[in-house]
Structure 1
Amino acid sequence: MHIISLNAQDFPIHSVTVFTDRAEVSRKFAVNLQPGFNEIQVENVAAAIEQNSIRVDGTGAAIIHEVKFQSKPTKVEEVDTAKVKELTAELKKVEAELQVNDDLKSVYKTRVDALDKAVKNLGTGSKDSDSSKIIGFSEDLENSLEKLFDYHERKALEIKAKIRTLDEKIAELQKEKDRLNQEINQIRFRHHVKNIISIQLENQDENSIDAELNLTYQVYGAYWRPSYDIRVNASGNSSQMKLVYFGNIYQQTGEDWNDVELQLSTATPGVGGDLPQLGTTTVEFYRPPPPPPVVPQAYACDTFFGSAAGGRPMMKRLMKAEANQFGMACEKAASFGAATTVADENVLSTTFTVPTKKTIPSDPSDHKVTITEQTLKVLLNYHCVPKKNTNVFLTALVTNDSDFPLLAGPASVYLNNSMSTNINMKATSCGEKFECPLGVDKTVKVIYKPTHKYQSQVGMISKSATTANEQRIIVKNNKRSEPIVITLHEPIPKSGDEKIKVKLVSPEIKPPVNGQGNGLEDSKAFKLPEVGPKLDDLNNLLWTAQLNANEEKDFLIKWIIEYPNNETLIYSERRECE
C-alpha cells in the first residue's frame, strides 16, 4: 500500500459553515495516486474535531474504501509549530527587556539608598568617640548642608520619578509576558495530541492518476449569534426602517480561517431529530402510600435488603451497556446517511451566505460580519400603561417582507439618527409582523387622575355588595402638525369565582365582526389597531384612539363588581408566560 503523509495546515481552508454550537470546515487538496491501494494520512487536524462528522468526497477515477480517525500523543518539538516558535522568540525579547528594566530599577534604588544614608549619617561621631572628629557648626557648614540637602532633594525626586516610570513599563512588559505565555500554552494544549485522518483509496487504473479530495469535518469552539442595527426615520405615513443584520462569530478552534467562503446556519447538529414518544397517561384517586414495615432489630435486615439493593445497580449497569452498544450501532448507521442529513438540515434550518470571503482568526474576540441590509416600511403607534407608568412609548409596527428570517438577538435602535434604546429582538419569520420599541416620546402627555370608588349594598334577603370603580385618563398630543394613534392599556378585574360578577360599564365593547377580536386575527396583516376599545386575552382593556395635533381627549373607564356581602375581595395580578 502506498502511503502519502500530508499536513493539514499546508492546505488552506476552503469554506466554513458556522452553526450555533460548532463549525463545519472544508479543505481541498490534490494527490497523486499510485496503482492499487493508497492511504492518505492527513496530520495536524484541529484538536476539537467531532470524530463522527468526518466526510470525504472527491473527483477522479478512484474509489474511497475507508476513512479512519486516530489521535497520537505528540512530542514537544512537534507541538512547537511556526506560530509557537514566533511567539517564543517574541517572549524572549520581552523577557530580556524586562530583565534590563529590573536591573535599572535596582541601580536607581541603590542610588536613592546611598543618598539617604549620606544625609542620615551627618553629624554622627566616630566609633572611638574622638571629640575632635565631631563636626562643629559654622556658617560655611550651614551653606554646605543647605547645598547637600538641595542636592539630595533634587536627585531623590528625580530618581524616584524614574523608578515610577520603570514600574509602569515593567507592569506592561509583565502583562505582555503573561499574554505570550498563555497563548503559547493554549497552542501547545490544543496540539498535545496529533489528530490524523486516514483515507484509504483504490486506484484501479494501471497508471498513476491525479485526484482532488474534499475533506469536511466539524469542530467545537466556534459559534455565531445574530445582532441588529435598527434605524427608523419617523415621518408620518412614509416612515421607514433600515435594518442591518449582523452575524457575530466566535471561534477558538486552533485554526485560522483565512479568506474563506463563509456561511452561517441556524441548524443545531447536536440535537437529535427523533420525535419523542408518549406513553399512556392514566388518572386515579390518590391513595397515601402504606407505612414502611417495622423490622425487628434481631433480623439481619441490612444484609438482606443490601443484597437486593446491590442487584439493582447491576441491572442498571447491564441496561446501560446494552444502550451504549445500540447507541454505537445507531451512530455508525447514521454516518452512511450523511447526505440525507445535510439535506434535512437545509430544509429544517436557514443558512445565510456571506457575499464576500472573510478572515476569522482563532482568538477570544467576536468578529462581526454583515449578513444583509433591508429597508422596511413601518407604521408608528403609541402605547401607554398609565396605571404603572404615564410615559408614552412609541412603537414601530413592521412586517418582515424580506427573504431573511430574523432570529432572536440584541438590537441597537436609533430614531431619527439619535440613539434611542437597546432591545432584544424576538424571532420573526418571513412575512410575519413584529413590533419594535422606539423609546419614550415626551411630546405626548398622559394624566392618570385619582381613582373614584363607590360602595353599596343591594338585596333584602340575600344581600350583596357592589363596588364601582371610575378611572379618568387625559391624553394630550402636543405635536404641532402630526396626528398620532395611541392605545391605552388598563387592567379590568377578571372574576375568579362564580359568586363574583364583573361588568364593564364604560366604554362599551362592541361584539367582534367577521371573526375579529376572537384571537384569530391575521398575524401578517400590516395595519394599525382599530380605533375603539376591546379586551385582550388577559382581560385588559385596550382603548385605541386617534388624536390630531394639539388635541386633548378624556377617557372614562368604569367597571362594577357585585359579590356576597360577607366576603372580602382581594386583587392580584398574574402574568401569563409567553
Structure 2
Amino acid sequence: MVLEENKTSSKAPVGEFNSSDLEVGGVVVYRDRAEVKRMIRVSVKKGENDVVVNQLPSVVDPKSLRVEGEGDAIITDVIYQSKTNYDEKTKGDKKQYDKLQDEIKELVEKEKFLTFKLEVITKQRTILNKFAEQICKFSDSSKEEKADMSEILKSGSVDGVMGFLTAYQDKMSHLDEQWRMHDREKTTLTEQLNVLRKNAQDLNPTTVKDAKTNRCVCISLEAASDTDVVLALSYVVSNASWTPQYDLRVFSNDKTMKVFYYGLIKQSTGEDWLDAKLSLSTANPSIGGSVPELGVQLLKFKQPVVVSKSKRTSHRINYDELMLCSSAIGGGLQEYDPTIEDSCLEELEQKSTGKAIAPIEITTTQVETNWTSVAFNIPRMATIPSDNTEHKVTVTSVGLKPEFEYAIIPRMSSHTYLQAVVKNTSSYALLSGPANVFLDNNFVAKSSLKDVSPSEEFHCSLGVDPSIRLTTIPVKVLRGQSGLISKSVTVDYRHMFEVKNTKQEQVKVTLSEQLPLSTDERIKVHLNDPDVRKVNTPVNLPFGTVTLNSSNNLDWVVNIPTNTTQPITLTYSVEYPPGHVVQGLPKN
C-alpha cells in the first residue's frame, strides 16, 4: 500500500511507535541510498484502526513509503505527515521572529532605494566631469573637431551648456553633499539590519532546540475481528551507501588466487540498523531509467566582430548622457523599482611444526540476479550505526585459477612486472573498487579493479620481478637522402632489446614499444621489421607473435624458456622533406 501525504486522521491509534525502536526487518543498501524495512507487531480491534509510526528519519523520501502486512485485516490508507511542534516559549519567540522579519523586509527596501540614489549621483558626477573636460579641450581641438563640437552644442542647447558651466561648481558641491548624506544613512541602516538579522536568527523556529519536527506515517487498517497483525513499513533514505573492496591473494606454489570480496557500508541517516539482515545492491537509482534524448548538432559560420574605429571617439559625448546631465541639474530622481584490516578469512600459513592448519570456512552469500542489477544477501546479521564511518562486511570469497605473465615497457621503465590474468569463473559480478594485492601472504601492492562480469577476464599487477631481466641496446640511427627530383630526408632507426629468463620455468612476456605515428602527410613512417601490415592482427614469429594495436604500438608476446635470452628487434624509417625539423623522433 502506498502513502498519501498531508491528510489527517481523528481516530486514536491502537499502536504508536518510534521508527528507531522497531525491529529492522532488512536493509537493502544501494550505491547512493538505502531502503529500510521496519517490522510492526500490533493487536487491532474489529473495525477501523490506526497505527502511527513517529520520528521517521529526516532524510526519508516520503514518496518511497510502502506498507505490507500479514493477518486478518485490510490496509485501507497510508498517510504521511511532517509537523513541527513548539513549546510555549518557542511559540512566543515565533511571533517575535515574524515581527522582526517584517522589519527586516522594510529596511531592505530602504537599503535598495539608497543604493540606487548613490548610483544615480555617482553617474551624474561622472557625466558632469566628463562634459567639463570636453569643454576645456574644445579650444585646443582642430577645425574639423570644433565643427563637430559645435553640432553637439547646438543639439544640447548652447544656453543650457552655458548655464551648466555657471552652476558647475555649486552643483558638484550639492551632489557631493547628497552622496555623503545618503552614504551615512545607508551605513546606519546596514548596521540596524545586521542587528535585526542576528536577533531573528536566534529566534528562528527552524533552528531553535525546542522546536522538533515529527515525520510520521499513519497506517489505517480495517479488521473483521480482534486479531494480531504484522506490518512491514519500508522507506528509502539518503546519506547511506556502500563501496566494494577486495583482497587479492595469489599463491605461487599451487598457482591459485583467492578474491576476498568486502562491502564497506556507511550511513548517517539518524537511525542505527541493529542486527539487520543486509543486502548490497549494484543498482544505482540516481542515474535514472529514461533514455536521454539526442538533440541536433548545428554548424554555422561564426559572425565576425566589427569594431568601429573613429579618431574623434574620445571627444564625443553621448546625447543620452547629456540629457541625463540636464535632468540632474533639474534635481529630478526616479524611484528604484582504512588501512588494511586483518581478516579471519586470510589463508593461514604452515606453522613451524610443519602441520598445515585448515583455513576457517565462511558462509556463502546468496546472489539475486535481476534484469539490470545484482543483489548480494549477506548471510550474517550486522549492526551499522549512524556514524558515517565505514563498516566492513564480508560478501564472499572466490577461488580462481590465474595465468601469470610478465609485462615490459622499455620506454617507460627498465623493470619487469608480474601480472595475473584471471577469468572470473564465479557467479559474482566484481564492481570497480580498490584492491590490496598479496603474493604468498605478503602485501605487494595497492591496485584497483574495474567492473568485471561473470566469465570476463581481468588483469592485476603483482609487482616487479627481478628474475626477468631487460637489456636495452642504444638506438642506432642512420641518416640519408633519397629521390632524384624531389629529394627527401630519410632516417632509419633500429631498436634492440634482450629479455633474459633466469627462473626455473618457462615464462610468458609481453614487450610493448611505440611506433611513431605521423600527423602530417609529408612525414612518412615505414615499418621494416617486424613485417606487420594490419592493425590488431597478430603476426607469427619464430619465437612468438607481434601485434600492431590501435594506439600504433607494437606488442611482442614471447614464451622464453628457462635460462634463455630472447632478442627483440624493431626497425623503421622516417621520411620527410629537407629543411624541416620533425618533433617527436627518438634520440640517439
Q: Same fold (TM over 0.5)?
A: yes
Query: What is the TM-score of this pair, normalised by structure 1?
Result: 0.65
Measure the CA separation in 2 of the matches of 1:208 and 1:417. Answer: 63
Task: Give distance in 2, aligned partners of 1:301 and 1:446.
Answer: 83
**Structure 2 equivalent of residue 508 of structure 1:** 531
- Which residue number in structure 2 is paired with residue 563 of structure 1? 576
Cα separation, partners in 2 of 1:200 and 1:289, compared to 1, 3 Å: farther
Would you say the 8 A contact 1:47–1:190 is kept in 2? Answer: no
* 1:278 and 2:290 correspond: no
Measured in 2, the distance between the counterparts of 1:402 and 1:26 equals 30
Quote the offset at 1:36 in angstroms: 3.9
Partner of residue 492, structure 1: 515
Q: Judging changes above 3 Å, is the alpha-carbon distance between structure 1 residues 54 and 33 closer, same or farther for their aligned structure 2 residues?
A: same
Counterpart CA distance in 2 for 1:2 and 1:255 is 26
- What are structure 1's unaligned runs of at least 5 residues? 77-187, 304-343, 519-529, 574-578
* Offset of residue 19 of structure 1: 1.2
Distance apart, 1:572 and its partner CA: 8.0
1:7 matched residue in structure 2: 18
Q: Does 1:398 align with 2:422?
A: yes
Secondary structure of the structure 2 residue equivalent to 1:52? helix
**Pairwise mapping of residues 27-426 of structure 1 onto structure 2 (< 5 A)?**
27-60=38-71, 61-73=73-85, 193-203=212-222, 205=224, 207-235=225-253, 239-288=255-304, 297-299=318-320, 346-426=370-450
Q: Distance in 2 between matches of 1:16 and 1:190?
A: 31
Alpha-carbon separation, structure 2, partners of 1:213 and 1:353? 22
The equivalent residue for 1:532 is: 545
Distance verdict in 2 for CA 1:386–1:189, change over 3 Å: farther
Would the alpha carbon gap of residues 491 and 190 (structure 1) be closer, same or farther in structure 2, given more than 3 Å must change? farther
Deviation at 1:290, TM superposition (A): 5.7
Q: Distance in 1 between matches of 2:507 and 2:440?
A: 17
Query: SS at the partner of 2:63?
Result: strand
Residue 552 of structure 1 corresponds to which residue in structure 2? 565
Name the CA distance, whole Å, in 2 between partners of 1:300 and 1:208: 87
DSSP 3-state at the match of 2:455: coil
Kept in 1, the 8 Å contact 2:537–2:547? The answer is: no
Pair 1:298–1:457, CA change in 2 (3 A): same
Contact 2:58 2:215 in 1 (8 A): no
TM-score w.r.t. length of structure 2: 0.64
Shift of 1:517: 5.0
Relative to structure 1, the CA distance from residue 266 to residue 572 in structure 2 (aligned partners, 3 Å threshold; closer, same or farther) is farther
1:347-372 deviations in whole A, cap 9, x for unaligned?
32221110111122222432111101
Cα displacement string for residues 110-166 of structure 1 (whole angstroms, at most 9, x for unaligned residues): xxxxxxxxxxxxxxxxxxxxxxxxxxxxxxxxxxxxxxxxxxxxxxxxxxxxxxxxx
Quote the offset at 1:549 in angstroms.
0.8
Q: Report the AA paired with residue 246 of structure 2.
A: Y
Q: What displacement does 1:300 show? A: 7.8
Contact 2:283 2:372 (8 Å CA) reproduced: yes
Deviation at 1:280, TM superposition (A): 2.0
User: Residue by residue, what CA displacement relative to the aligned partner does 1:184-233 show, whole Å, maximum 9, x if unpaired?
Assistant: xxxx999963433222424163x333322110112222211100000112
The one-letter amino acid paired with 2:482 is V
| 1:424 positional shift | 1.3
Establish whether residue 460 from structure 1 lines up as the match of residue 472 from structure 2. no
SS of 2:56 mapped into structure 1: coil
Q: Shift of the alpha carbon at 1:248?
A: 0.8
Equivalent AA in structure 2 for residue 508 of structure 1: D
User: How many residue pairs are counted as aligned between the two chains?
Assistant: 405
SS at the partner of 2:20? Answer: helix
Say whether the 8 Å CA contact 1:39–1:198 is kept in structure 2.
no
Determine helix, strand or coil for the equivalent of 2:319.
Answer: coil
Percent identity (aligned) = 33
- Unmatched runs of 5 consecutive residues or more in structure 2: 1-10, 89-206, 325-367
Q: Distance in 2 between matches of 1:501 and 1:568?
A: 14
Counterpart-to-counterpart distance in 2, 1:17 and 1:190: 33
CA shift at 1:75, angstroms?
6.8
Mean Cα deviation higher: 292-301 or 404-413: 292-301
CA distance, structure 2, for counterparts of residue 511 and residue 269 of structure 1: 43
